[in-house]
Structure 1
Amino acid sequence: MVTTVVVGNPKRNSRTRAAAERVAEALSGRHADHVIEVIDLGPALLEWGDAGIAAAVDTVAGSDLVVIASPTYKATYTGLLKTFLDKFAGATGMHGVVAAPVMVGGAWDHALAAELTLKPVLAELGATTALPGLFLLESEFESDGRIDDYGRRWAPVVERLTRAAP
Structure 2
Amino acid sequence: MTRTGALEVAVVVGNPKPKSRTLDAATYVATELSGQAPELVVDLADLGAAILDWKDETVAGLVAAVGSADLVVFASPTYKGTYTGLLKLFLDRFATDGLRGVAVPLMLGAGPGHALAPELSLRPVLTEIGGVVATKGLYVVDSAYDDPAAYAHWLEISKPAVTALLGSRTGGSA
Interval containing the TM-score (normalised by the shorter chain): over 0.9
Contact 1:26 1:152 in 2 (8 A): no
Matched residue, 1:92: 97
Matched residue, 1:122: 126
The reply on whether 1:140 has 2:144 as its aligned counterpart is yes
Letter aligned with residue 105 of structure 2 = P
Q: When the two structures are superposed, what TM-score results if normalisation uses the length of structure 2?
A: 0.89
Question: Mind listing any 5+ residue stretches in structure 2 that lack a counterpart?
Answer: 1-6
Matched residue, 1:163: 167
CA RMSD of aligned residues (A): 1.4
Distance 1:28 1:148 in 2: 15
SS of 1:103's equivalent? Answer: strand
Question: Mind listing any 5+ residue stretches in structure 1 that lack a counterpart?
Answer: none
Q: Percent identity over the alignment?
A: 46
Matched residue, 1:25: 31
Distance 1:55 1:69 in 2: 19
Moved >6 Å (runs of 4+): none
Task: Give deviations 1:52-99, integer Å, cap 9, x for gaps.
Answer: 01111011011000000000000000000000000111x2011x2100
Q: When the two structures are superposed, what TM-score results if normalisation uses the length of structure 1?
A: 0.93
SS of 1:92's equivalent? Answer: coil
Q: Identify which of 140, 147, 153 aligns with 2:157.
A: 153
Task: Give deviations 1:94-126, integer Å, cap 9, x for gaps.
Answer: 1x2100000000010000000110000001001
Contact 1:99 1:131 in 2 (8 A): no
Aligned positions, number: 164
Please state how far the C-alpha of 1:144 moved relative to its aligned partner: 5.8
Distance 2:30 2:125 in 1: 20
Change (3 A) 1:151 1:144: closer
Matched residue, 1:62: 68
